[in-house]
A and B are shown apart, each in its own frame.
Chain A
């Protein structure tokens, strides 16, 4: 027993030794970023980290925001909900951050949002699409915001597009049952498509680590749909598209913003040719924000930014804009400024926050032609 107690004392000593939340020097505001820097979605996490760093560098180069230099704290969540919650706790209680950007996936962002809400730290995610991130069980988490669409928006947009523009009567859906982004959009698409008078002839799911979709695609092919909706990220979509072609599937492929990456065409080759997806902006967009961002990112990281990075860039900038407007490092004031943000010009469009902390912005439909993304039309919510 005595040894047990001395062990406890040791632990307490060690813990107490770590630097607590010292108050930061006057002219500094601490911002945290939570992103998966290890694990299976490290690639998305790094895009987000890069974008965050670009945005902060730009602001600091201009002398910071509201007269304060931005000090950043990066933490890794390994795309694990428990680690994400711990990471947010570390940022707020140990590092004393005043605002948080993150995390990347919905399953990690929901616990972050719960914690940020209870500790009243404004938090914005670039990429978590689950409606529960900002509103859960009928309660608005008023410190939580996002820069991306929710699942329901994109699902509806693509259903409308498939039914209206493509005139499809029968649709098939393949989604990842363990991925909330994929599952969420799939459900909304199915319901919306049926509501608009279409038929969903195949609604099938696969697992996170699957690479062989031939059984599902054979099933899809037998269901003879006009369009095949693939709500997932580009890496999976590329594989599915390729195999769809090998199974002899003829219909059109459509999908959400997860498709947006130069890697898609690389994996899928001509199998994805003619496919449509909804996105936040078109690379042909002539607005200076788009050109500047793509150029800067390419210079720094020698690659084209993907949708996740771009959204994180906008999210970070929105937060910085809010701090500027609040002209204070007070989390409450920053929150108010974020909530009242309107007409913010980001790379992915013009943002206005709605009452749920979700942005109101239009979407564009893009078609893949000759391996390039071509702007097709604008869709308004």
Chain B
């Protein structure tokens, strides 16, 4: 029983980490319908900004987060303007390919010795780890921080999307960007804002990830990005609570497969679950069923 509870906690940590990245993914997808493969790499940049601001400049934690958020936002807005905006009227797949290009570029360019370098750098912990024992189950303060931050991000996003003018613009663009433009929504601004917002989340996520798994490398972003995207799809892509739900399921299924079935086949079994869920609900768990007007 203790073993099971401990594994649930483990799965929760993994799930909330995925959730942080998935939120950014789902935001961008929800508005522009683009699988932004570069998101994981923006997340990596966020982690590196965290690494440098702590290791080199010893900034206080709030400033660390702030600079990661600022850096990622600027980068994402730049990427959007240079690589995605010119292709807005081209088929979506063209932007997907430039997204892959941007992702590869960020990974290989930053791994040059003159930029971040190729090493695995150990990420300094800005605060000591505290382990609490609750009825034989170990919980760390890092897990608590991740949970709180993810939930705050989720609420913040829900607020932006459903309670602000910009959010209304986002929903309009998501529904039909041509009509939204005709109705006076500044589509370019909304899309830039969306990318910026997604990247800000990636910045927060990157630093938290560095704290939780204290090692950074320029190739660290892709796999978590892919898993997070998968989680977002599982929950119903474009749906904000869905992203968190999907990520939590993903985290639990990976953990439980490791714990009770076979760690060797973990990824395989986790993706079998994904495919089964998709067959049962073709647009994800919380995704609205796709209705096409005939």
The short answer to whether A and B are in direct contact, CB under 8 Å, is yes
Contacts from A to B (Cβ < 8 Å): 38-40, 42-43, 45-46, 177, 204-209, 211-212, 214-216, 218-219, 222, 234-235, 238-239, 242, 246-248, 263, 266-267
A267→B214 contact, CB < 8 A: yes
Q: How many Å lie between the Cα of A208 and that of B129 in the bound state?
A: 26
B223→A205 contact, CB < 8 A: no
Q: Given the known A-B contacts A207-B267, A239-B215, are A215 and B7 also in contact in the complex, defined by CB atoms under 8 Å? A: yes
Q: How many Å lie between the Cα of A214 and that of B17 in the bound state?
A: 13
What are 21 contact pairs spanning A and B, CB under 8 A?
A39-B108, A43-B119, A43-B120, A45-B118, A205-B263, A206-B263, A209-B220, A211-B213, A211-B220, A212-B13, A215-B7, A215-B11, A215-B258, A219-B259, A219-B263, A235-B120, A235-B215, A235-B217, A238-B122, A247-B138, A267-B120
Partner of B7, one of A39, A218, A242: A218
CB contacts (< 8 Å) of A238 on chain B: these are: 120, 122, 215
Is B266 located at the chain interface by the 8 A CB criterion? yes
CB contacts (< 8 Å) of B209 on chain A: these are: 211
Contacts from B to A (Cβ < 8 Å): 3, 6-7, 10-11, 13-14, 17, 108, 111, 113, 117-120, 122, 129, 131, 138, 140, 209, 213-215, 217, 219-220, 222-224, 254-255, 258-259, 263-264, 266-267
Q: How many Å lie between the Cα of A205 and that of B264 in the bound state?
A: 5
A237 CB to nearest chain B CB (Å)? 11
B14→A212 contact, CB < 8 A: yes
Q: How many Å lie between the Cα of A38 and that of B105 in the bound state?
A: 12
Q: How many Å lie between the Cα of A242 and that of B214 in the bound state?
A: 9
Q: How many Å lie between the Cα of A267 and that of B215 in the bound state?
A: 7
Q: How many Å lie between the Cα of A211 and that of B3 in the bound state?
A: 21
CB contacts (< 8 Å) of B220 on chain A: these are: 209, 211
What total of A-B pairs shows CB separation below 8 Å? 92
Q: How many Å lie between the Cα of A276 and that of B287 in the bound state?
A: 51
B138→A248 contact, CB < 8 A: yes
Q: How many Å lie between the Cα of A218 and that of B258 in the bound state?
A: 10
B122→A263 contact, CB < 8 A: yes
B215→A211 contact, CB < 8 A: yes
Q: Which of B131, B213, B263 has the most CB of A within 10 A?
A: B263
Partner of B119, one of A206, A247, A263: A263
Q: Given the known A-B contacts A246-B140, A266-B122, are A204 and B215 also in contact in the complex, defined by CB atoms under 8 Å? A: no
Partner of A209, one of B140, B223, B258: B223
B13→A43 contact, CB < 8 A: no
B3→A222 contact, CB < 8 A: yes
Q: Which of B13, B117, B214 has the most CB of A within 10 A?
A: B214
B258→A38 contact, CB < 8 A: no
Which single residue of chain B is at the shortest CB-CB distance from A239?
B215
Q: How many Å lie between the Cα of A248 and that of B13 in the bound state?
A: 17
CB contacts (< 8 Å) of A215 on chain B: these are: 7, 10-11, 14, 254-255, 258-259, 263
Q: How many Å lie between the Cα of A326 and that of B241 in the bound state?
A: 70
CB contacts (< 8 Å) of B266 on chain A: these are: 206-207
CB contacts (< 8 Å) of B7 on chain A: these are: 215, 218
CB contacts (< 8 Å) of A39 on chain B: these are: 108, 111, 219
CB contacts (< 8 Å) of A242 on chain B: these are: 214
Q: Which of A211, A219, A248 has the most CB of B within 10 A?
A: A211
Q: Given the known A-B contacts A38-B108, A215-B258, A238-B215, are A43 and B264 also in contact in the complex, defined by CB atoms under 8 Å? A: no
B264→A177 contact, CB < 8 A: yes
Q: How many Å lie between the Cα of A266 and that of B140 in the bound state?
A: 21
CB contacts (< 8 Å) of A46 on chain B: these are: 113, 118
CB contacts (< 8 Å) of A206 on chain B: these are: 263, 266
A90 CB to nearest chain B CB (Å)? 20
What 6 new A-B contacts, CB under 8 Å, besides A46-B118, A219-B259, A239-B213?
A: A209-B220, A212-B213, A218-B7, A219-B263, A238-B215, A267-B122
Q: How many Å lie between the Cα of A298 and that of B138 in the bound state?
A: 42
Q: How many Å lie between the Cα of A257 and that of B7 in the bound state?
A: 31
B263 CB to nearest chain A CB (Å)? 4
Which single residue of chain A is at the shortest CB-CB distance from B108?
A38
Which single residue of chain B is at the shortest CB-CB distance from A243?
B213
Which single residue of chain A is at the shortest CB-CB distance from B260?
A219
A217 CB to nearest chain B CB (Å)? 9
Q: Given the known A-B contacts A235-B217, A267-B215, are A218 and B3 also in contact in the complex, defined by CB atoms under 8 Å? A: yes
CB contacts (< 8 Å) of A219 on chain B: these are: 258-259, 263
Q: How many Å lie between the Cα of A303 and that of B106 in the bound state?
A: 26
CB contacts (< 8 Å) of B219 on chain A: these are: 39-40
Q: Given the known A-B contacts A42-B111, A218-B259, are A246 and B215 also in contact in the complex, defined by CB atoms under 8 Å? A: no
Q: Given the known A-B contacts A215-B10, A267-B214, are A204 and B129 also in contact in the complex, defined by CB atoms under 8 Å? A: no
CB contacts (< 8 Å) of B259 on chain A: these are: 215, 218-219
Which single residue of chain A is at the shortest CB-CB distance from B117?
A43
Q: How many Å lie between the Cα of A239 and that of B223 in the bound state?
A: 17
Which single residue of chain B is at the shortest CB-CB distance from A40?
B219
CB contacts (< 8 Å) of B11 on chain A: these are: 215
B205 CB to nearest chain A CB (Å)? 13
B118→A43 contact, CB < 8 A: yes
B252 CB to nearest chain A CB (Å)? 10
CB contacts (< 8 Å) of A214 on chain B: these are: 10, 13-14, 255
CB contacts (< 8 Å) of A235 on chain B: these are: 120, 215, 217
Q: How many Å lie between the Cα of A248 and that of B3 in the bound state?
A: 13
Which single residue of chain A is at the shortest CB-CB distance from B113?
A46
A184 CB to nearest chain B CB (Å)? 15
Which single residue of chain A is at the shortest CB-CB distance from B226?
A209
Q: Given the known A-B contacts A204-B263, A207-B266, A215-B258, are A246 and B120 also in contact in the complex, defined by CB atoms under 8 Å? A: no
